[in-house]
Amino acid sequence: MIKLVVAAVVLALVLAFPALAPDPFVLSVGVVIASYAALAVAWNFVGGLTGYISLGHAAYSGLGGYGTALLVTEAGVNPWLSMVVAAVLVGVAAVPIGIASLRVRGASFVIVSIALVLILLLVAQSWAGVTGGSNGLRVPRPFGTDVLRPEQHERFFYLFVGLTLVALALWWVIDRSRLGTGLKAIREDEDKAQALGVPTFTYKLVVFVVSAFFTAMAGGMYALWFGSLDPIFQFSILTGSYLVLMSLLGGVRSLLGPVVGAVIVGYAVEFFKNQYGDTQLHLVALGLLLALVVLFMPDGVIPWLTSQLDRFRPSSTSIREVDAAQLAEERKALEEAKS
């Protein structure tokens, strides 16, 4: 009951954020953080449930963004339909990618995910006739020119929050299903899970495709909000690193861990960029933040807070404590029952 009340209060505060934001810049920062939350939850389908660490999820967000932009500008498709169609196409493309990449584990999987991002970056920069090359693409505003920028920020904030909630609901359902049990068995010991009859490869491929779909949805929505695409930004390994940091910071094995991590990391990134401009000092600060988390909160913020709260809860014992008078009364009652 307490958890439901806390969740309701937090959700109410989140939904009230656009009205509480003092200026459009703060509201735009809120949109960025909400987009990070959607991406981090999408990443957590693979990272949290299977334990496979991918640094290449920017590939799927970038494909979702470019797919949405091309469908709008070249085919004249409705922006929202373009976003969904692009995400479905990315999900379909993720099937052969997953079949190839999920055959390796550990560091090899990380290298494969990085290679995919670098390949797509080169393609996006070289295929200027389609992607615009280094000049990028312009994406028309989905709400038209009559809607001012602050109003667009507000609408997209709610859209990103809605996408995050849908992804969280699906993650919660999978986590408590037979599929989730098999995925967690893979995360703990994949060889043992396979020996016990768990269809490990099929399970991994399913969540890999789901993760790619939601990542592409978030990428397409970001393209519609931001209005322009740059291949260096869209296919950046740094984006994948942010997603890993967010999930690890909040707790990859918890439902809301990636969201908490997205709020912390997203705010930190925007704060340091605002303070130090285009310098790389924000990367140094994030590196120090990750080091502190690994040293003092290796399981993430939410598991650490839960463990701290458990210390203040009364501990239950298996032996019931009674005084001498109660023991005498119970013995007397037992003797009377025997007689």
The predicted-structure confidence for 303-328, as pLDDT tens digits, reads as follows 767 776 666 666 544 445 555 666 56
Q: Kindly list the distances between the CA atom of residue 58 and the CA atoms of 40, 183, 223, 282, in Å, as whole numbers in the listed order.
A: 11, 23, 13, 20
Percent pLDDT > 70 in the chain is 87
Which range (24-38, 96-110, 255-269, 295-309) has the least confidence? 295-309
Looking at per-residue pLDDT, the higher value among 259 and 285 belongs to: 259
311: Cβ contacts below 8 Å, ≥ 6 apart: none
User: In the predicted model, what is the mean pLDDT of residues 185-190?
Assistant: 92
Residue 16: the pLDDT is 93
Written as six digits, the tokens of 8 are 């309701």
Greater pLDDT, 335 or 297 = 297
Lowest model confidence (mean pLDDT) among 110-119, 181-190, 271-280, 312-321: 312-321
Provide the β-strand partners of residue 137.
229
Estimate to the nearest angstrom the gap between the alpha carbon of 15 and the chain centroid: 19
pLDDT at 295: 79
In single-letter form, the type of residue at position 175 comes to D
314 phi and psi angles, rounded to 5 deg: -65, 130
Q: Are 254 and 302 contacting, i.e. CB atoms less than 8 angstroms apart?
A: yes
- The CA distance from 299 to 254, in Å, is 10
Give pLDDT, residue 314.
Answer: 60
pLDDT band at 297 (very low <50, low <70, confident <90, very high): confident
**What's the token pair of residue 134?**
């280094």
* Mean pLDDT of all residues in 191-215: 95
Query: Using one digit for the tens of pLDDT, what is the confidence trace for 215-253?
Result: 999 999 999 999 899 899 899 988 888 898 888 888 888
Q: What CA–CA distance (Å, rounded) separates 299 from 304? A: 7
